[in-house]
């Protein structure tokens, strides 16, 4: 049994929050370049150039790429041979968020009550934390700080087996079409298939953690991803919804077994400011 | 894209009449920030027949909730938020004299109709390009609703704030036209 003091987690979470907000992943940059070259619309090409300029300025000035620095969502993989000591694990994560959002000059976007009061909590807590127990004695913390604009364009649909793969593809493409310019395209389309109602949504979000330059390990789903990507980019929505061939940089599917009566499908839309970062303790 | 057009606030009809969708503009002068919560308060005041915290006549509202400013900086990252959430409120503000809005994403038919009626323009800023936008802000001051935090109304002094005309006073819509041209 390996002991990890939760106080060790606080500065690590803090750094994850700050770094994810300022530095964009190489996988996203690569895809943006690839699509900019293929782009046929002049306005679309120029918008992608502005996105690159923004990346450069963010690093230079240590300012977040986007003012919406998101809800701090954490995927934790806790080794079963780890013993967490020194306090409450969830409190430590929230303390890291509190410090990161303050010291990084990141925006605090959480309200305490979703409907009636909607008072800002002023420190971007609480974080949303998912925990998986895995073999080993390591602790892996992955932050996916998710902005509101793209999250609002996400949806879960409980489909029928009779809808088939064609029905699923139509639903995903339609979801992107209805989103138009709202979620800040170029987007990444996360798709969760199967599980049940809530697991499909979680799968859609987790699918976004796969680097954009990695193919789906299952050739069956890799083919569906390519088909959806082509259809989505034929919609003409383009960067910011102002027209172009670059609506989505990637479609990423995660699938799980489900009930004989069900076929849950979830779409989680991610904007081009694709903030995710991991640390292993 | 066309050549950049310089626009100064307060906006004048004669300048707005020259704008067409797809035009790149650089805005200099004063713009006011407001998101969902501030819009609700402004519209509640109009409906109660009360005075607004700033005179909206000829002005521009920028849909933004900026990140906090680093020491020595006027503002933090300040890109646009999604505009459709302001659609229920914008026609009432346009009727009160508002001339321009800056945001991202398409507007409703009601807002577009109101822009034709009131000679108003909607400018698209690049969502996510929040540091680029912040570079154009020289000063920022909270003038109302400080309790709303990032959602408070700020008066921004801007110089060459880069935007694209998405809806002109003639009812044309760059979102609709741009997508139609690129669909396959």
Give me the residue from A122, A182, A273 closest to B128, CB to CB: A273
Q: pLDDT by residue (tens digit) across B92-135?
A: 999 999 999 999 999 999 999 999 999 999 999 999 999 999 99
The pLDDT value recorded for residue B3 is 76
Decide: B59 and B16 in contact? Cβ < 8 Å.
no
A82 CB neighbour count, 10 Å cutoff: 18
Is B6 among the catalytic positions?
no
Determine contact: A208 vs chain B, CB below 8 A. no
- Please tell me if residue B54 touches chain A, with a CB cutoff of 8 Å: no
Q: What does DSSP say about strands B153-167 and B24-33: parallel, antiparallel, or unpaired?
A: antiparallel
Nearest CA in chain A to B65: A67
**DSSP SS3 for A97:** helix
B81 touches chain A (CB under 8 A): yes
How far is Cα of residue A275 from the mean position of the Cα atoms in its chain?
7
Does residue B50 sit at the A interface (CB-CB below 8 Å)?
no
Distance from CA of B94 to the nearest CA of A (A): 22
CB contact under 8 A, A62 and B106: no
Contact list, A67 vs chain B (CB under 8 Å): 64-67, 76-79, 130, 150
Mind telling me how many Å the CA of B46 is from chain A's nearest CA?
A: 22
Burial label for B98, CB within 10 Å (0-12, 13-18, 19+), is buried
Is B77 in contact with A240 (Cβ distance < 8 A)? no
What is the Cα–Cα distance from B88 to B111, expressed in whole angstroms? 8
Confidence of residue B1 (pLDDT cuts 50, 70, 90): very low
Listed by number, the residues of chain B in 4-43 with a beta carbon closer than 8 Å to a beta carbon of chain A are 22, 37
Per-residue model confidence as pLDDT tens digits over A219-265: 999 999 999 999 999 999 999 999 999 999 999 999 999 999 999 99
252-271 of A, contacting B, C-beta below 8 A: 271
pLDDT digits (tens, 9 = 90+) for B59-90: 999 999 999 999 999 999 999 999 999 999 99
Please report, for the domain that includes residue B160, its CATH number. 3.20.130.10
Residues of A in Cβ contact (< 8 Å) with B151:
120
pLDDT number for residue B136: 98
A235–chain B nearest CA distance, Å: 5
In 3D, which of A125, A129, A151, A152 has the Cα closest to residue A141?
A129
B106/A180 touch (CB, cutoff 8 Å), yes or no: yes
| ipTM of the complex in this document | 0.95
> Which among B79, B174, B184 has CB closest to A67?
B79
How far apart are alpha carbons A157 and B6 in whole angstroms? 47
**Domain extent for B175:** 4-182
Please state, as a whole number, how many other Cβ atoms lie within 10 Å of the Cβ of residue B49. Answer: 6
pTM of the prediction? 0.96
Q: Do A105 and B76 touch (CB under 8 A)?
A: yes
Count of Cβ atoms closer than 10 Å to residue A192 Cβ:
27
Q: B163 to chain A: nearest residue by CA?
A: A47
pLDDT, tens digit only, all 281 positions of chain A: 899 999 999 999 999 999 999 999 999 999 999 999 999 999 999 999 999 999 999 999 999 999 999 999 999 999 999 999 999 999 999 999 999 999 999 999 999 999 999 999 999 999 999 999 999 999 999 999 999 999 999 999 999 999 999 999 999 999 999 999 999 999 999 999 999 999 999 999 999 999 999 999 999 999 999 999 999 999 999 999 999 999 999 999 999 999 999 999 999 999 999 999 999 99
Does B77 sit within 8 Å of A58, measured CB to CB?
A: yes
Confidence of residue B2 (pLDDT cuts 50, 70, 90): low
The domain total for chain B is: 1
């Amino acid at each position: 049994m390996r002991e990890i003091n939760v106080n060790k987690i606080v500065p690590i979470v803090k750094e994850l929050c700050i770094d994810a907000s300022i530095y964009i992943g190489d996988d996203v940059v690569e895809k943006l370049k690839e699509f900019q070259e293929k782009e046929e619309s002049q306005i679309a090409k120029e918008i992608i150039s502005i996105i690159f300029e923004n990346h450069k300025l963010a690093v230079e000035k240590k300012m977040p790429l986007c003012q919406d620095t998101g809800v701090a969502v954490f995927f934790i993989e806790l080794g079963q041979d780890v013993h967490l000591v020194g306090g409450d694990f969830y409190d430590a994560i929230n303390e890291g968020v509190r410090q990161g959002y303050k010291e990084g000059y990141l925006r605090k976007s959480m309200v305490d009550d979703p409907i009636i009061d909607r008072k800002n909590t002023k420190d971007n807590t609480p974080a949303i934390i998912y925990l998986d127990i895995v073999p080993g004695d390591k602790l892996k913390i992955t932050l996916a700080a998710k902005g509101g604009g793209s999250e609002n364009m996400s949806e879960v649909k409980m489909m029928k087996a009779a809808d088939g793969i064609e029905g699923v593809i139509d639903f995903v493409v339609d979801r992107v079409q209805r989103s138009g310019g709202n979620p800040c395209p170029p987007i990444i389309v996360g798709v969760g298939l199967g599980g049940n109602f809530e697991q499909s949504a979680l799968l859609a979000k987790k699918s976004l953690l796969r680097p954009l330059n990695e193919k789906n390990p299952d050739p069956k789903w890799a083919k569906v991803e390519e088909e959806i990507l082509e259809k989505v980019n034929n919609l003409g929505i383009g960067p910011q919804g102002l027209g172009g061939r670059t609506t989505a940089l990637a479609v990423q599917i995660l699938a799980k077994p489900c009930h004989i009566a069900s076929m849950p499908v979830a779409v989680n839309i991610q904007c081009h400011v694709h903030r995710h970062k991991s640390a292993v303790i | 894209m066309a050549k950049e057009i310089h626009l100064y606030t307060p906006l004048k009809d004669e300048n707005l009449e020259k704008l067409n969708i797809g035009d790149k503009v650089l805005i200099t002068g004063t713009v006011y920030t407001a998101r969902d919560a501030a819009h609700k308060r402004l519209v509640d005041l109009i409906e109660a027949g009360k005075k607004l915290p700033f005179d909206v006549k000829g002005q521009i509202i920028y849909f933004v909730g900026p990140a906090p400013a680093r020491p020595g900086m006027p503002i933090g990252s300040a890109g646009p938020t999604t505009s459709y959430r302001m659609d229920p409120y914008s026609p009432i503000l346009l009727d009160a004299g508002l001339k321009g809005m800056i945001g991202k994403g398409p507007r409703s038919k009601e807002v577009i109709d109101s822009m034709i009626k009131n000679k108003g323009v909607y400018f698209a800023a690049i969502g996510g390009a929040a540091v680029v936008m912040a570079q154009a802000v020289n000063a920022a001051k909270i003038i109302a609703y400080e309790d709303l935090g990032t959602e408070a109304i700020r008066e921004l002094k801007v110089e060459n704030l880069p935007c694209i005309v998405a809806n002109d006073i003639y009812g044309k819509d760059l979102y609709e036209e741009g997508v139609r041209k690129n669909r396959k």
